[in-house]
Amino acid sequence: VQLQASGGGTVQSGASLRLSCVASVSVFNMYDMAWFRQAPGKEREFVGAISRAGLSTYYADSVKGRFTISRDNFKKIMFLQMNRLKPEDTAVYYCAVVRDLRKVRGTEEVTYTPDTWGQGTLVTVSS
């Protein structure tokens, strides 16, 4: 699997951006997918994930209600729609194939194992 993320840019606080992740793979709907981000000087963090059929999505608390993950399995693309962007959303955003994506019973948390990373795309949000 090869992943190519795009769509980053510089926007003002409150604006929207949509990131895309194109997968070079024969069968895209075999893979659960996720977005991660890494801000300057910080560790990479989970943003959200989507199940292989697109029926389930999961989000970090910091983006819940503002970000939406979707996918088009026919076109082999995953999207991250980011609305009401904040300066703290500034980061390099990465898409990834994840394995063992599961919701922890009784919580809103998920577990996963990153498998394949795409290159990042930089999102800068100015105040």
Residue 13 DSSP class? T
Mean pLDDT of 27-39: 97
Query: What is the Cβ-side half-sphere exposure of residue 66, based on CA atoms within 13 angstroms?
Result: 16
At 63, the pLDDT band (50, 70, 90 cuts) reads very high
Is 20's pLDDT higher than 90?
A: yes
What average pLDDT does the structure give for the chain?
A: 96
Is 2's pLDDT higher than 90?
A: yes
Q: Are 64 and 104 in contact (CB under 8 A)?
A: no
Strands 121-126 and 9-12: parallel
Which helix (H) or strand (E) element contains residue 51? none
Cα→Cα distances 111→15, 46, 71, 117, Å: 30, 10, 20, 17
Residue pLDDT, tens place only, 91-117: 999 999 999 999 999 888 899 999 999
Q: Are 50 and 22 in contact (CB under 8 A)?
A: no
Q: Are 31 and 96 in contact (CB under 8 A)?
A: no
